[in-house]
Amino acid sequence: MTATASSAPALRDNRGTNELPPHLDENLLTPRFYTTEFEKAAKTDLGKAREEFEAIFKEMETDYNLTHFDRKASLDRLQDLSPSDKAVYESYLVRSVVSEFSGFLLFKEISNRFKKAGRKDLGQFFQFLARDEARHAGFLGRALKAEGIDVDLPNIGRKRAATFFPLSWVLYSLYLSEKIGYWRYILINRHLQANPDKACAPLFDFFEPWCQDENRHGDCINLMMRCWPGMTNGLRGKLLSRFFLWTVFLTHTLTVCERGDFYELLGIDPVLFDEEVIIQTNNTTRNAFPWVYNFDDGKFLEMRMEILEAFRNWRASSGLSKPLALGKFISLILRQFALPMEKTNAVRYG
Ligand SMILES: [Fe+2]
Ligand SMILES: [Fe+2]
């Protein structure tokens, strides 16, 4: 599973230019790839979770979106975009294809490891998740192709560098990435249904059933967490909940607000979008994590603006002021990390 970099480009612009434009930088194409305690995972005891497992398994097997991602979708509407708006749209596609494909690689690996360990049920379960992510990545790849850009997904897969994380970390972060993905897609979808003139690409017509895939994936990961009650117990559960919610929300704020151009293209205010995604994801997470942030005093959400400003100051600073600006940024994010949380009633088996 070590990285073997291929010299062939994974991304090709077929529109007559020899060089890739800056928004299609090859360096963006490095999927994050994790390995974990696969042997421990293979010991997952479905025991009391069996009934819930069978129900979700059946749902995944039904494959609601088998015919949803239409290969012949018309791409006409893009013609109206200016070159700079097109660049914004294309870099969104590239970032998305990489994250969907990273999901595929991880789920496929987990599925293979389960099958090797003789856990057919869980192997097939994760095969369903890999199937969906491959479909999402393939659909985004087709949207890029329609723009004259070829992305070689298997080649991206070979460039992966693997990082090891304990099983608990992988499950906490996977749960959040699926649920935050769900909220991101559905909020964009709701906004575009209310403002159809802003739906500048046919891709957005596919978001609603797409986000239901991500929602189900989150439920699948939640089921795995419920089978490992030690992960959500006591101080460990509280620390893991705090750490992963904070990391995911902070990353979301910085990326959405720093790449606000994509949201502005759709007529969405990035700051409000970020806020709504965080509120909804935190609320949904009550079903899985033992603790979530308590937003009642408004501080967590308010602090995002200060953090963003400190981040921008740090990036813009140079010389002696750079470490000072970094210190300010770090002290702010640590204060946000420590803000109040509240206990949930998430179900646990065992
Ligand atoms: Fe996906
Ligand atoms: Fe997913």
**pLDDT tens per residue, range 280-336:** 999 999 999 999 999 999 999 999 999 999 999 999 999 999 999 999 999 999 999
Q: Is residue 19 part of a domain?
A: yes
Q: Which two tokens stand for residue 18?
A: 């020899």
Using an 8 Å Cβ cutoff, are 327 and 270 in contact? Answer: no
Distance from residue 23's CA to the centre of ligand 1 (Å): 22
CA 30 to ligand 2 centroid distance, Å: 18
229 located within any domain = no
- Which range among 23-27, 93-97, 188-192, 344-348 shows the weakest confidence by mean pLDDT? 23-27
Q: How many domains does the chain have?
A: 1
Question: When comparing pLDDT for 68 and 339, which is higher?
Answer: 339
What per-residue confidence (pLDDT) applies to 3?
Answer: 40
How far apart are the CA of 317 and the centre of ligand 1, in A? 37
Please say whether the dihedral angle defined by the alpha carbons of residues 111, 112, 115 and 117, taken in this order, is positive or negative: negative
Q: How far is the CA of 136 from the centre of ligand 1 (A)?
A: 5
Domain extent for 99: 1-166
Question: Which ligand is the nearest neighbour of the Cα of 217?
Answer: 2
Beta strands in 199-271 (DSSP E): none
Q: What is the pLDDT of residues 150-179, one digit of tens each?
A: 888 887 777 667 789 999 999 999 999 999
For residue 349, tell me if it sits in a domain. Answer: no
Residue 202, domain member (yes or no):
no
Q: Quick one: average pLDDT of 20-30? A: 65
Ligand 1 center to 209 CA (angstroms): 11
Distance 106 CA to ligand 1 centre (A): 12
Three-state DSSP state, 130: helix
Predicted pLDDT at 31: 64
- 89 part of a folded domain: yes
188: exposed, middle or buried (Cβ count in 10 Å: 0-12, 13-18, 19+): buried
Q: Is the pLDDT of residue 26 over 70?
A: no
Contact 308, 270 (CB under 8 A): no
Residue 6 clears pLDDT 70, i.e. is over it: no
- Amino acid making up residue 163: T
Q: Which residue has the higher pLDDT, 19 or 53?
A: 53
Under 8 Å CB-to-CB from 202, ≥6 apart: which residues?
73, 74, 75, 76, 77
Segment among 59-63, 256-260, 305-309 with least mean pLDDT? 256-260
Ligand in nearest proximity to the CA of 129: 2
In a domain, 143, yes or no: yes
pLDDT, position 27: 61
How close is the Cα of 316 to the center of ligand 1, in Å? Answer: 34
Give the Å distance between the CA of 153 and the centre of ligand 1: 15
- Mean pLDDT computed over 244-250: 97
The answer to the question of residue 1 being in a domain is yes
- DSSP for 60-108 reads HHH-TTTTTS-TT---GGGGGS-HHHHHHHHHHHHHHHHHHHHHHHHHH
Is residue 74 a part of any domain in this protein?
Answer: yes
